[in-house]
Amino acid sequence: MPEITPVKEPKILIAGAGIGGLTVAILLEKAGIEYQLFERDEQVCTQGSATGLGFNVMPLLEQLGLLEELKSISKIIDGTTIFKEDMEIIREIRLRNNKTLTGYDSLVTSRPQLHALLSSRVPQEKVHMNKKIVSLTQDSESVTITCADGSSYTGDILIGADGSYSSVRQALYNEMKKENILPNNTEDGDVSLVSHYMSILGTTNPMNPANFEGLQDDESHCDTVIGEERGLTWRYFTIPNNRICWRVDVQSSSMDPKLYENWLNADYNMFDVSQLPEEWKQHKLPIMGELKDLFENTPKESISKVVLEEKIFETWKHGRTVLIGDAAHRLLPNFGALNAILDAVVLVNCLYEMPSATDKHIAKAFDDYYLERFPTTKRELNSVQQMSTVLAGKTWLDTAARFVLLKLVPKYFKEKSLEYTLSYRPQALFLPRIETKGTAPLTPQRPSKKYAVYLKAQASTSTTAL
């Protein structure tokens, strides 16, 4: 594919080489826009469990040439089953129609594998490891980040893709507070983490398929067990190579504070499962075996824990700085990657279209990005919050809601999530479009004027050459 040269290139700094930051880098690389990526960790992180990627990012991944490789490291999610601890099925949700409607399956892989796939497509000389961003300054000309090692870098735009505990977001909000422009009475005023629940997670080594049911099936077994103990839920996804991505969720508001007080206030950190109550380890899995089988077959250093609060920040941009992914919104784990990828493509589309890197053009590009992504993400958060309360909640009201929603209104979740996501399958506007697949209507995307000019110029060059 020929290189694209924009009229005037902005220089972009990306904070965080996670899923969102790497996707931005791949897109900017394809768009021919200059960028540098800064990552806090010294080396690529091997922690993480399942990452689900739905049909609304598949056309983009196909466009980026990632889809076939992604399929080779993923299993298809055909549905999910929710069990009680005694293995009675509460509800089975099947997603078989999705392929007919959208042309794509939903896939699940492990986060480290998805991370490695994205990372393999970013030139390593543009990725700066061991660069923890600690502060930022910006004015009408540029934005500068300073890292913990004292180094600093200046660019036209800073993209904060540095995850849930985003330093960029905190620095930005501090700056806005000083200027008295951080909106009051919004989530933005409160950047402290109020724990909602905590996940302990990991991905096993290859397991013996003789000891677990369906490990070699083409489709992933995605099961959730709602424990009898208040606030305890465990779930897993089987992935290729007989491996299992697992997660134990603890809703801290339902737990004895003594149990979890030492686990709070942490990012995705290493976690020693020997701290867990013995009886938890004996909890059964619907595919046979117990939680302890998952714990024992997962490399210790790759088991991590994260404290999560589902939340969306109202302010995603100011001056030359913009937030994407978990830095802007924290949704349920397993599908955070999907939203970060959607943020990335919408933002880079807007940046590509920018005539130049002036304050005015940057503000317009950020506004366009926000207007497209904020309302969708907010709607999704509401639906995710209802879902998590219903699945994990232990009050009598939650139990009643679970009964009504899962048993009496069986299509509720399916329709709700489809309603929001089915038609939304954005692609990069500066690359050849992947033809629409499936029968479901698509949200139209405004074509790129700049790309049209580029294609015209290409066509006239090749005609002249003939």
Q: Which residues inside 301-320 make contact with ligand FAD, applying CB under 6 A? A: 304
The sign one gets for the Cα dihedral 195, 196, 197, 198 is negative
Closest CB to ligand FAD among residues 19, 405: 19
Closest CB to ligand FAD among residues 42, 359: 42
Contact 177, 141 (CB under 8 A): no
Does position 160 interact with ligand FAD (CB under 6 A)? The reply is no
Q: Which residues inside 14-43 make contact with ligand FAD, applying CB under 6 A? A: 15-21, 38-41
Instruction: Tell me the residue type at 117.
Output: L
What are the phi and psi torsion angles at 223 (to 5°)?
Answer: -120, 145
Binding ligand FAD (rule: CB under 6 A), the pick from 198, 250, 340, 347 is 340
Cα-based angle 84, 226, 231 (whole degrees, multiple of 5): 145
Q: How far apart are CA 57 and CA 341, in angstroms?
A: 7
Shortest spacing between CB 62 and ligand FAD, in angstroms: 19
Closest CB to ligand FAD among residues 63, 334: 334
Residue nearest to ligand FAD (CB): 18
Q: How far apart are CA 275 and CA 273, in angstroms?
A: 5
One DSSP character per residue, 204-224 reads: PPPP-GGGSTTTT-SB--EEE
Residues in contact with 111: Cβ distance below 8 Å, sequence separation at least 6, in sequence order: 19, 47, 48, 49, 50, 51, 203, 337
Shortest spacing between CB 146 and ligand FAD, in angstroms: 11
Shortest spacing between CB 240 and ligand FAD, in angstroms: 16
Q: How far apart are CA 288 and CA 87, in angstroms?
A: 10
Closest CB to ligand FAD among residues 103, 163: 163
Contact 312, 150 (CB under 8 A): no
Does position 10 interact with ligand FAD (CB under 6 A)? The reply is no
Q: How far apart are CA 169 and CA 162, in angstroms?
A: 9
Does position 224 interact with ligand FAD (CB under 6 A)? The reply is no
Piece in contact with ligand FAD (CB under 6 A), picked from 88-96, 329-337, 388-396, 430-438: 329-337
Q: How far apart are CA 114 and CA 420, in angstroms?
A: 24
Shortest spacing between CB 171 and ligand FAD, in angstroms: 9
Does position 111 interact with ligand FAD (CB under 6 A)? The reply is yes
Closest CB to ligand FAD among residues 78, 162: 162
Partner residues linked to 293 by β-bridges: none
Q: Which residues inside 398-437 make contact with ligand FAD, applying CB under 6 A? A: none
Residues at the site binding ligand FAD, with contacts judged by CB under 6 A: 15-21, 38-41, 45, 47-51, 111, 132-133, 161-163, 167, 201, 268, 304, 325-327, 333-334, 336-337, 340
